Amino acid sequence: MFQETLNEILKSHFGAAVPMWATVVFSLFNVVLILGLAWFVRVLIMRSIRVLQSRLSLASHDDEEKKRVETLVRVFRYVTSVTIVVVTIMLAMSEMGVSIAPLLATAGVAGIAIGFGAQSVVKDYFTGIVMLLENQIRQGDIVEVAGKAGFVEEVTLRYVRLRDYQGSVHFVPNGVITTVTNLSRNFAFAVIDIGVSYRADLDQVFNIMRDVSGALRHDPVFGERVLDDIEIAGVDQWADSAVMIKARIKVVALWHGPIRREYLRQLKVAFDANNIEIPFPQRVIYSKDDKKETPKEVSRDGES
C-alpha cells in the first residue's frame, strides 16, 4: 500500500516510477514491520494470559480448580502461538509478492483430502477439545486411559502424556480414549481385604480394625490425609483357608495406596499382639480306613 502510494506520487511529480532496488527495500521493510508487529502482539497476548491466569488462580478455591486453569491456559497459549505464526507467514508472503489466494484454495482442497486420510488426527483434536471443556483430565492428575495408568505430565489437543510408576512415558492419542478413570478428584477410598482364621472371634477382629483406624487418624504423617473412620463392610467371603473381611477408609485423593499399606502394617502388629491368626493355605486330610480318626490339618508345604 505504501509502495503504491509512493509510486503514484513520483509519477505525478517527477514522471518516474520507483526503482527496483527501492521496491525490494520497501518489501523487506514491510516484512520486518509485520514480524515486529507479530512479535509485539504475541508478547502482549502472552502477558495478558499470564495476568488472567494469576487472577483465576487467586480466585480458585482449591487445587483442583487451579490445575484446570493451568491446563486450559497452556492449551490456549499453544493455539494462540500457532495462529499468530500462520497469519504472520501469510502476510509476509503476500508482501513479498506471493499470491496467497491460490495457496488458500490449494490448502482448502488439500485439507479435504488430508481430512479423509487423517480422520484419526481430526478425532484426536475433537476429543481433546471435549475433554478440556468437560474438565476430564488436567495436568498433575493420576488417571487411567486406554489401558495405561500414570501421572499426567502434559495434556494437548492431540495426546495425553503419562508417566507410570516405573517411570515409563506413554503418549496416548485422545482419539483412542473412550473412558477416563481419574484418581485425583476430591477423595479416594483405601480398599482393604483382610483374611483371618476361621477360629478367630470376628467381633474382636472388627474392634481391633477400628482401633487401628482410630490410631491412624492421629498419626503425625498420615492423620491429616485420613478423612473418616474405617467402614467395615463385613465378611466378604469364606475362602479356602480364611474368612475374608472387606473394609475401606476415606482418604485424600492419591493417598489411598500409602495409607492402605500403613494400615495393613499397623494391623499386622495389632493382630500379633492379640494372637489373631493370619492364616495360610491349609488342607484337611481324612483317613479312608478309619472314619473316626481325627482329621489332620496339613499346611501348604505338606507338613502336618
Whole-number average pLDDT of the chain: 80
Answer with the residue of higher pLDDT: 177 or 67: 177
Q: Where are the domains of the chain?
A: 2-117, 137-182, 187-282
Question: Could you read off the pLDDT of 122-154 as tens digits, one per residue?
Answer: 778 788 878 877 888 888 888 999 899 999 998
SS3 at position 144: strand
φ/ψ (deg, to 5) at 220: -65, -25
What is the CATH code of the structural domain delimited by 137-182?
2.30.30.60
Say what the pLDDT of residue 304 is: 45
Residue % of the chain over a pLDDT of 90: 34
User: CATH number of 187-282: 2.60.120.620, 3.30.70.360, 3.30.70.100, 2.40.30.40?
Assistant: 3.30.70.100
Q: Which residues face 252 on adjacent strands?
A: 187
Distance, in Å, from the CA atom of 60 to the CA atom of 57, rounded to the nearest integer, reads 5
2-117, which class in CATH? mainly alpha
Q: How confident is the model at residue 213 (pLDDT cuts 50, 70, 90)?
A: very high
201 neighbors 219 (Cβ within 8 angstroms): no
SS3 at position 37: helix
Alpha helices in 60-173 (DSSP H): 63-95, 100-117, 119-133
pTM: 0.58
Quote the DSSP letter at residue 200: S
Distance, in Å, from the CA atom of 302 to the CA atom of 289, rounded to the nearest integer, reads 20
For residue 178, pLDDT beyond 70: yes
Mean pLDDT lowest among 4-18, 91-105, 225-239, 269-283: 4-18
For residue 296, pLDDT beyond 60: no
Say what the pLDDT of residue 11 is: 54
63 neighbors 124 (Cβ within 8 angstroms): no
For residue 227, pLDDT beyond 80: yes
Q: How confident is the model at residue 229 (pLDDT cuts 50, 70, 90)?
A: very high
Distant-in-sequence, close-in-space partners of 45: CB < 8 Å, separation ≥ 6: 80, 84
